Structure 1
Amino acid sequence: MKENRRHAWVQFSGEGSAMVISPPEGHPLDLIDIGGYAEIMGNATRGRPVERGTLQSYKSRGEIPPPDRKRGDRKKPPVFEDMWFRKTIEDDLRKRRQGLPRTEQAGRE
C-alpha cells in the first residue's frame, strides 16, 4: 500500500503529503479553468487527470466550490469561462484529503 497507493498510506499512517502529485507551484490568485482544475485534482487524488466532463458533473452537483470568477463579472482581467483561484482549488483538495463530508466541502456557495 505504501508504494502503490501512497495517498491511502499517508492517510492511514499520517506520514508525508496525502496528495499523489502535489499541485504545481504558483501564485494563490492564479486563475485556473475547469480543465486545469480537473488536471490538478486528478493528479493530487489518483496520479492522473480527471476527465473535464467528470469535473463539470461535480460542479453541477455542488461537489466542488463555485467558481471565483465568471464570464461577464466585470472584474479584471476579464474571463470568458468559469475560473477558480489556485488557492480555492488547493483548499478544496486539502479538505478532500482530510476526509471531510462532501456537504461541508460544497457548503462554500
Structure 2
Amino acid sequence: MSLTFSNASSKTLWAMVEWSYPNCPDGGEWMKKGWWQIEPGGTAVVYGGDVQAVNPIWYCYAHAADGTEWRDRYQELVPSRAFAWCTDTADSSSRTILMNEIVVSRPDHVHTFLP
C-alpha cells in the first residue's frame, strides 16, 4: 500500500506531496514533503501506507528544470531543498507553489504526471 508518483513526461521532474496529519507537531493539520527526483518513465513511492486510511484528499506539485510545472490552484510554501514540514512551517528560502488535488480511490494509488 502506498502513494506512487509516475513520470510520463520526457523531462526529469522534482515532486512534492502533502497529506492530512492532524495535530502536526510544528503546527497545522497537514504534512508536506519533497523533493523526489523522478526521471522520464520513472516512479517514486512518496508515501508508504494505506493512503485512503489517511484521507482520500492529497495534494502534489512537480516542476522540471526548464520551468515546466504540474500545478493547479492550492497554495503552499516550500523550500528549494529537501524538506518534511508541517504546513505552518516555512523559512526565508520558501516560495509559493500551486498544488494539484489528488483524490485517491484505493489504498495503493499511482498519480501520473502527464506530458
With normalisation by structure 2, the TM-score equals 0.27
Structure with higher strand content: 2
Pick the structure with more helix per residue.
1
Larger relative CO (CA 8 A, sep 6+): 1 or 2?
2
